[in-house]
Amino acid sequence: MPDIKTTLARDIEAENLDIRYDRSVKRVLANVPLLSPITKYTVKELANYPIPLIEKCINENSIQISEVFVDPGLTNKKIINDELMDRVPGEGRVIFDIRFIITLPGGSKTKIIINIEAQQKSNPGYSLLNRGIFYAARLISAQLSVEFTNDGSDKEQYDKIKKVYSIWICMDCPEDKKDSIINYSFEPHIIYQGSDKLTLYPNCDLMNITFIHLSGKPDQSHHQLISMLDVLLAKMDTETKKKKLQEEHNLPMTIKLEKEMNDMCNLSSGIREESRLEGKLETIRNMIMYGLTTIDAIKATGLYTEEELSAVAASLR
């Protein structure tokens, strides 16, 4: 059976001519195989995780491209009504390029909110750091009534705030910034200490702004992430670009369809052998969450009833 192209490969083919422009670059960057290495090298909690595990940490359903407003009062979707949403396009509102959620594995299930911005120029005439601070601050404040409360009856209140990263990919960089990755976050600076028992607050890095400054030329940077993004955003014919990304940066451009179908059938057989309905549904759910199959593909096997698949679909909402 022939190989099939991945979504990333199809997006690169569709957008390569205008890859550096706003709509095109956001569409391509929002692919999980790209979000994974970007976050691996910029989110310190993921630094020691392999790429396949990071892909599973990314909540694909949470990925939003140009959907969430930066403007105060508009970021928290709970307080935006449909009428306002309909009125906003064309009115010059500022919108996050890409926003999504990462959930770390293990018992803690720590949630991290990520924003990625594609920036044509790292020196737009104003402080890009100040803009990044504003974006990160909005990611924090928009969590009110969603992740945390300021209700006096809630003992945890502000302790429920989730860490945020605003990651800026800068394409055209001046010489003093090229080929670098810089993170800015809060750090304590002791002004006076009258006791050796002083204890500092933990988690003072809840708000992170990270700048990825590209080198501007493929094969120039010695850093894995910068080199990959330089190739992705370079003026290069589509087939050469896809080949370099797959062979040099392990970005999948094709899927072996036969292997994918065999894996799915083997997993389906294993599921069918489970005697308890709860166990079967949980396994199917995990297969779908990890991207191994879809509801439609499972349905096509004819091994499961409409009621069973409806229960799975409901658990994924």
3-state SS class at 172: strand
DSSP 145: T
DSSP state, residue 44: G
- State the pLDDT at residue 105: 81
> Which tens digits make up the pLDDT trace of 212-225?
999 999 989 999 99
d(CA 18, CA 26) in angstroms, rounded, equals 11
- Name 121's bridge partners: 172
H or E, element range at 298 = helix 295-301
Q: What three-state secondary structure class fits 70?
A: coil
pLDDT score of 96:
85
Residue pLDDT, tens place only, 23-60: 889 999 999 999 999 999 999 999 999 999 999 999 99
Give the mean model confidence (pLDDT) for residues 175-199.
92
**Which position has the token pair 């005697």?**
275
Comparing CA positions, the residue from 26, 16, 168, 20 lying closest to residue 97 is: 26
* DSSP codes joined into one string, 189-228: --S----TT--PPS-TTSEEEEEEE--SSTTT-SSHHHHH
Sequence-distant (≥ 6) Cβ neighbours of residue 263 within 8 angstroms = 292
Give kind and range of the element (H or E) at residue 52: helix 51-57
Q: Could you read off the pLDDT of 53-104 as tens digits, one per residue? A: 999 999 999 999 887 777 655 544 433 333 333 333 443 467 888 999 999 9
Residue 284 has pLDDT above 60, yes or no: yes
Average pLDDT over all residues of the chain: 81
- Among the listed residues 204, 134, 168, the one whose alpha carbon sits nearest the alpha carbon of residue 38: 168
Tens of pLDDT, residues 108-154? 568 999 999 999 887 888 899 999 999 999 999 888 888 888 887 87
Closest CA to 225 of 5, 98, 38: 38
- 278 pLDDT above the threshold of 90: no
Report the DSSP beta bridge partners of residue 116.
98, 167
Q: Is 305 helix (H, G, I), strand (E, B) or coil?
A: coil
N- to C-terminal Cα separation, the chain = 34
